[in-house]
Amino acid sequence: MESFLTALGPTEPLSSMDIIFSLSISFVLGLVLATVYRWTHQSFSYARSFLHTMVLATIVITIMIMAIGNNMARGLGIMGAMAFVRFRTPIRDPRDIIFLFASLAVGIASGAQVFDVAIIGTLFFGFTALFLSWSPFASRREFEGLLRFMLPPNSPSLDLLHDIFSNYTTQTEMVAMREAIQGEVQEYSYQIRLIDPSYKTDLIDTLSKLEDISEVSLVMQRTTVEI
């Protein structure tokens, strides 16, 4: 019975210094999360207000946890009050949702004064986010493109194409060849996959130096867009 009554109310009230310290910890850790988010953000839509929301969310949750304490009645009351709140702002990127949840988790840990969990959890979360952002993990980099050029029939430059392609591409496949300019030249179309995206300019320059070649163009294609 005594343990049940203890769960209905706080064992001891928090001092003013404890409250300020908890809010300060949540504020600093919220800034850390927002900074990591800004460093690792790769999407097209960047909202300064979302970073402010992350920092403010940690503080709000800290206040809520300190206000609830061990009081079950307060917890139920806050849950009932939050049920009336409707958040209609769309969050399109699942990564943004995870960062927002991280802010809430840090706020809960700071409000419960489990500072070691809050600090170590923030640092580990930030390190993981930086690692995933800067590493090639889960990245598909195929660098495919459509190469087109014109050469006269039986041009000696055709024999040099194989060596050039082997230096700049991992895979080549001819997709079309047709006559142009009343049969004076032939237009070649190749589907290629570059070894590195920086080789695009080098490949075009090397092909342009061949004799009798003209209208060299390379259009890069992306099967998937990495954001």
pLDDT of residue 26: 93
How sure is the predictor about 227, in pLDDT bands with cuts at 50, 70 and 90? low
Per residue in 119-137, pLDDT tens?
999 999 999 988 888 876 6
User: Which of the pair, 163 or 197, is modelled with greater confidence?
Assistant: 163
What residues make up the domain containing 216? 144-221
Write down the pTM of the prediction: 0.58
Q: Among residues 119, 92, 88, which one has the least CA distance to residue 105? A: 119
Rounded to whole angstroms, what are the CA distances from 179 to 44, 100, 189, 190, 208?
Answer: 43, 59, 12, 15, 20
Residues 69 and 111 in one domain: yes
Residue percentage of the chain with pLDDT more than 70:
81
Does residue 106 sit in the same domain as residue 159? no
Report yes or no on 33 lying in a domain: yes
Q: Specify if 68 maps to a domain.
A: yes
Whether residues 88 and 19 fall in one domain: yes
CA angle, residues 113, 118, 123, in degrees to nearest 5? 160
CA gap 147, 142 in Å, rounded: 15
Question: At 141, is the pLDDT very low, low, confident or very high (cuts 50, 70, 90)?
Answer: low
CATH of the domain at 178: 3.30.70.260
* Structural domains of the chain, count: 2
Same domain, 45 and 127: yes
**Mean pLDDT for the stretch of residues 40-51:** 79
Q: Who contacts 208 (Cβ-Cβ below 8 Å, separation ≥6)?
A: 216
More confident residue, 92 or 227: 92
What was the pLDDT predicted at 82?
A: 65
Tens digit of each residue's pLDDT (9 = 90 or more) over 55-78 = 998 998 898 888 887 777 777 766
One domain for residues 30 and 116: yes
